[in-house]
Amino acid sequence: MGVRDSVRWMGVHETMTTTRTALTDDDIRALVKGQSADDRAIAAHKICRHIEGGGADLTPEEREQAYDILRIMAADAAELVRRALAVTLKSSPMVPHDVAIRLAKDVDSISLPILNFSPVFTDQDLCEIVRVGGPIRQVAIASRPMLSEQVTTTIVEHGIEKAVQTACANDNANFAERTLQTVVERFARSEAVLSAVAYRQALPLAVTEKLITVVSDQLRDHLINHHALTPQVALQIAMGSRERATIDLVDQAGRTPDVKSFVGHLHKAERLSASLLLRALAHGHMTFFEWGVAELAGVPHHRTWLMIHDAGPLGLKAIYDRAGMPPRLFAAFRVGVDTFHMLEQEGGAFDAARFQERMLQRFLTQPSTATREDMDYLVDKLDRVRREARLETRQA
C-alpha cells in the first residue's frame, strides 16, 4: 500500500469511532510498513474491528476505500495477517465478495473460518467449493449456520461421508425430500450418517419409513417414537409385522398429518378402542379424539365437534353413547374434555410439550373411572414428558 493510499484510509477511519479501541495513524503505518508479521497482524485485527464496527456509517466512497484495505490484507505474504482478517470478519457482511473467494482458497487456518460463517458467499459459490474444494472445506460448509436445499443437494451428491453426516446433523440445513432419500440410499451402510438423518427435528414420512427398513434397532425405536408414520406402517408395527419394533399409537395420533385417514385405518384394523381414545384425549390430542368418536358414531366430524364441545351436559353424552363406547368410562372422558377446555381458557402462549404435561397432570388428579391399566400408562407418560422437558432445559 502506498503513502497516498494510507492517507486516504486515515480519512476513512476518522468516521469509525463506534468501537471501543481507538484507531491511530500508527495502526495504519504498522499495517503498511510493519517489519514483522506480528506487528502487521495486530494492526490488521484492529483495522478489521473498526471496519466491522463502523461499516454501517460509511459513505459509498469510504466503503470502497475500506474494501481496498481489506484486499491489501488478503494479499499480505504473512499468514498471520490474512488469518487476522479471516477470523475477525468471518461473520461480517463487510468483506468484499472477491476477498471472501480469495480467502476461501487460502490455507485451512484462513479458509475455514470464512467458509464456516461468512454471509458473503452465494449458493453458487458454496456449491462450487463443495465440488472442487476438497473434504475439509466440504465439512466446513456443511456446518454453516444456514444451508439452502441447493447447497445440501450438492453436498449429498459430491461430499465425503463426514460432510454429509455434518449437514444432516445440522437442523438449520434445508433438505429436499428427494435429497434425504438419496442420503439413505447412498449411505445405507453408514450408521453415523443414518443416525444424523434419524435425529433431525423433522422428517418427511417417506424418509422416516425408508430409514426404518435399514437402521439399527435403537434408531428404529427413535424414529417410531419421534416421527410421524403413515397409518399403514404404524398399524403394521403395532400389529407385529415389523420385527423387534414397538409403537405407541397415542404418540402417532398426535403426530400424524392426516388424522382422518389415520383414524379410518385404526377402525378397519379394530384398533380404535375406547382406551386408545381416552389416552389420546388425556394427552391433549383433541383432534384425534374428535375424529375417532365421529368414526365410531358414524357422524360427520363437524357435527361431532359441536356435540363434544357443547357447553351443556348433553352433547358429549349423546355422541359418546352413539359411538358405542363403555358407559363406565364416560366420567373419565368427561374429565378429559373439561380439562382440555379449562386449559384452553387459561390462554397463554401455546407450547405442545407444556400443554401435554399440564393436561396429564390435571387429568390424573381428577376423579375418574379410567381403568388401572390406563392410569398406569398415563402416569408413565407424564414421567416421560417431564424427563424430556428437563433434558431439553439442560441442553438449551
pLDDT at res. 72:
83
Which pLDDT band holds residue 291 (cuts at 50, 70, 90)?
Answer: very high
Beta bridge partners of 173: 147
Of 162, 212, 213, 154, whose CA–CA distance to 182 is shortest?
A: 154
The pTM for the full model equals 0.65
What mean pLDDT comes out for the span 160-165?
97
159 with 191, same domain: the answer is: yes
Domain annotation covers residue 28: yes
Beta strands of 226-378 (E only): which ranges? none
Verify that 105 and 127 share a domain, yes or no.
no
Q: What's residue 374's pLDDT?
A: 80
Give the highest mean pLDDT range of 4-8, 58-62, 177-181, 372-376.
Answer: 177-181
Instruction: With cut-offs at 50, 70 and 90, classify the pLDDT of residue 226.
Output: confident
User: In which band, very low, low, confident or very high, does the pLDDT at 225 lie, cut at 50, 70 and 90?
Assistant: confident
> Is residue 253 included in any domain, yes or no?
no
191 within domain boundaries: yes
The tally of domains found in the chain comes to: 3
Dihedral sign (CA 354, 355, 360, 365): positive
Both 295 and 382 in one domain: the answer is yes
Q: What is the mean pLDDT of residues 291-300?
A: 95
Instruction: Report the range out of 24-28, 200-204, 341-345, 356-360 with the highest average pLDDT.
Output: 200-204
Helix boundaries (H) for 55-148:
60-74, 79-88, 97-104, 108-117, 123-132, 135-142
More confident residue, 57 or 215: 215
What tens digit of pLDDT does each residue of 91-101 get? Answer: 988 889 999 99
- Cα 61 to Cα 215: distance, rounded to the nearest angstrom: 58
Sequence-distant (6+) residues with CB within 8 A of 11 are: 62, 65
* Per-residue model confidence (pLDDT) at position 28: 52
Look at residue 215 and tell me if it is in a domain. no
* 15 plus 108 within the same structural domain: yes
What is the average per-residue pLDDT within 37-60? 70
Does the pLDDT at position 176 exceed 80? yes
pLDDT over 90 at 295, yes or no: yes
In a domain, residue 45? The reply is yes
Distance CA(332)–CA(140), nearest Å, equals: 55
CA atoms within 13 A on the CB side of 178: 5
Same domain, yes or no, for 131 and 55? no
Last residue of a domain, one of 204, 238, 273: 204
Q: Which amino acid is at 83?
A: R
On whether residue 269 sits in a domain, the answer given is: yes
Task: State the pLDDT at residue 130.
Answer: 97
Residues 72, 177, single domain; the answer is no
pLDDT for 16: 41
Determine contact, residues 94/66, Cβ cutoff 8 Å: yes
C-alpha cell at 237: 408395527
195 in the same domain as 135: yes
Mean pLDDT in the chain?
Answer: 81
Residues 306 and 369 in one domain: yes
Tell me if 359 sits within 8 A of 284, measured CB to CB. Answer: yes
When pLDDT is cut at 50, 70 and 90, the band that residue 350 belongs to is: low
24 and 96 both lie in a single domain: yes
Q: How many C-beta atoms lie closer than 10 Å to residue 72's C-beta?
A: 19
Q: Which of 187, 204, 221 is the last residue of a domain?
A: 204
Q: For the chain, give the percent of residues with pLDDT over 70.
A: 81
Q: Are residues 321 and 281 in the same domain?
A: yes
My answer on whether 285 and 352 are in the same domain is: yes
- Last residue within a domain, chosen from 97, 115, 133: 115
Q: Is the pLDDT of residue 10 over 50?
A: no
Task: Tell me the range of 136-140, 273-277, 369-373 where mean pLDDT is highest.
Answer: 136-140
pLDDT of residue 331: 86
Is 323 part of a structural domain of the chain?
A: yes
Of the pLDDT bands very low, low, confident and very high (cuts 50, 70, 90), residue 119 is very high
Residue 224 in domain:
no
Range of the domain at 13: 1-115
Are 273 and 387 in a shared domain?
yes
What tens digit of pLDDT does each residue of 313-343 get? Answer: 789 999 999 999 998 888 888 888 988 888 8
For residue 238, pLDDT beyond 70: no
Q: Average pLDDT for residues 257-269, to the nearest whole number? A: 88
Higher per-residue pLDDT: 270 or 122: 122
Q: What is the pLDDT of residues 208-220, one digit of tens each?
A: 888 888 888 788 8
